[in-house]
């Protein structure tokens, strides 16, 4: 099952013979690899989530000014980071797809989008529930919140467009353009708290200075951020597999995979 | 340990609604996403198997016709 297909027409059309890592750019090599990796990332995500929740609720102290409501931060910040990061990764794969004409790159960015949208929604939802007791409002139209809401709509637009267009090649290209143009919004979100006078607080964590919070709070946030990375990898790899089958349904290797699957279900 | 008792834990100093509302919905949408991904996989395999039977199962003949370029 790991050995490559013998059929010449398939071999000619994909870079099966490329060196080392590059061979996983070929769908028939990437498909089984994704299937093998996903459970490991899922297991890592579970372990890190449990560790992170323990830090968040049983190690991190009650905040002197905010009390316990601040504990929303442990999902709010990782979700917000993830929502921005996933969009940038989608833009990256879209650019690779447009430049190198690799179909798997487009499929990858489409497999990432629902998870990015999910994290974006979580960031907005937890932000609203945190905003109410601390600001007195679930929602305000400040630059941070508005640009994050725009990110959610960009995700929805990307998903709707790529699914609405029948021809996969055109869908890929149209989606790639939304992903690339919309990526401009990500630095706007990130720097919005600096550029404008927002109700939303500034960054508590940055690469250039020490985090302005207790070490245990920071640790919990970081562990849950890594958990969401592992989760994203697992769920994206699981989502991309049927997408690959769909796209490559005319090939022999997909036929072989389907015969195996058909016997099981 | 931060909590005097389990009821203090669930109460979250009066912020229980906001904290558990955040965590609850987050894990609910994660669960929903996992269910949808699993369903999509099953549905795709079923649909493609049906498609292959309709097209002529062994995949010879027209197979690879769309692989041009």
Question: pLDDT tens digits for chain A (265 residues)?
Answer: 444 444 444 444 444 455 567 777 788 999 999 999 999 999 999 999 999 999 999 999 888 888 899 999 999 999 999 999 999 999 999 999 999 988 899 999 999 999 999 999 999 999 999 999 999 999 999 999 999 999 999 999 999 999 999 999 999 999 999 999 999 999 999 999 888 888 888 877 766 666 677 888 999 999 999 999 999 999 999 999 999 999 999 999 999 999 887 765 5
In angstroms, rounded to a whole number, what is the distance separating the alpha carbons of residues B64 and B13?
A: 64
9-48 in A: which are within 8 Å (CB) of B? 9-10, 13
Number of CB atoms found within 10 A of residue B1's CB: 6
Domain count, chain A: 1
Instruction: Tell me if A41 is assigned to some domain.
Output: no
Q: A67–B45: do the CB atoms touch at under 8 Å?
A: no
Q: Kindly report, residue by residue over B8-65, the tens digit of the pLDDT.
A: 999 898 899 999 999 999 999 999 999 999 999 999 999 999 998 888 765 444 444 4
Measure CB to CB from residue A129 to each of B22, B52, B62 and give the nearest one. Answer: B22
Domain count, chain B: 1
Instruction: Tell me if A206 is assigned to some domain.
Output: yes
Task: Count interface pairs A-B at CB distance under 8 A.
Answer: 117
Interface test with A, best of B46, B64, B66, B69 (most A CBs within 10 A): B64
Q: Across-strand partners of A67?
A: A63
Instruction: Tell me if A191 is assigned to some domain.
Output: yes
Q: How far apart are the first and last CA of chain B?
A: 63
How distant, in Å, are the alpha carbons of A41, A42, A210 from that of A89?
18, 20, 26
Question: By the CB < 8 Å criterion, does A237 face chain B?
Answer: no
Instruction: Tell me if B41 is assigned to some domain.
Output: yes
Boundaries of domain holding A73: 47-264
In angstroms, rounded to a whole number, what is the distance separating the alpha carbons of residues A196 and A156?
A: 26
Instruction: Tell me if B19 is assigned to some domain.
Output: yes
Measure CB to CB from residue B25 to each of A125, A133, A250 and give the nearest one. Answer: A125
Instruction: Tell me if A40 is assigned to some domain.
Output: no
Q: A252–B59: do the CB atoms touch at under 8 Å?
A: yes
Q: What is the pTM of this model?
A: 0.87
36-65 in B: which are within 8 Å (CB) of A? 36-38, 40-42, 44-46, 48-49, 51-52, 58-59, 62-65
Decide: residue A177, CB within 10 A, 0-12 exposed, 13-18 middle, 19+ buried. middle
């Amino acid at each position: 099952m790991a050995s490559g297909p013998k059929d010449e027409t398939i071999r000619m059309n994909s870079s099966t013979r490329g060196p080392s890592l590059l061979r996983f750019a070929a769908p028939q090599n990437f498909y089984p690899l994704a299937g093998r990796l996903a459970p490991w990332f899922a297991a890592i995500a579970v372990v890190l989530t449990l560790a992170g929740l323990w830090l968040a609720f049983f190690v991190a102290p009650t905040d002197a000014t905010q009390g316990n409501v601040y504990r929303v931060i442990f999902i709010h910040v990782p979700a917000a980071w993830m929502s921005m990061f996933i969009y940038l990764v989608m833009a990256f794969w879209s650019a690779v797809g447009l430049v190198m004409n690799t179909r798997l790159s487009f499929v990858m960015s489409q497999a990432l989008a629902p998870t990015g949208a999910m994290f974006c929604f979580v960031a907005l939802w937890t932000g609203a529930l945190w905003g109410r007791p601390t600001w007195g409002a679930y929602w305000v139209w400040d630059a941070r919140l508005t640009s994050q809401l725009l990110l959610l709509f960009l995700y929805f637009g990307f998903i709707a467009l790529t699914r609405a267009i029948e021809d996969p090649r055109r869908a890929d290209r149209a989606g790639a353009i939304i992903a690339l143009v919309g990526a401009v919004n990500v630095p706007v979100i990130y720097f919005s708290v600096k550029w404008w006078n927002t109700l939303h607080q500034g960054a508590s964590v940055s690469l250039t200075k020490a985090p302005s919070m207790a070490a245990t709070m920071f640790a919990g946030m970081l562990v849950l951020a890594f958990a969401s990375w592992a989760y994203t990898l697992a769920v994206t790899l699981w989502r991309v597999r049927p997408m690959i089958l769909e796209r490559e349904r005319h090939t022999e290797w997909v036929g072989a995979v389907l015969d195996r699957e058909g016997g099981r279900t | 340990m931060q909590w005097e008792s389990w009821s203090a834990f669930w109460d979250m100093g009066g912020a229980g609604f906001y904290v558990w509302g955040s965590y609850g919905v987050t894990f609910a949408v994660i669960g929903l996403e996992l269910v949808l991904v699993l369903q999509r996989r099953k549905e795709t395999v079923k649909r493609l198997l049906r498609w292959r039977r309709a097209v002529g199962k062994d995949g010879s003949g027209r197979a690879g016709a769309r692989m041009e370029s």
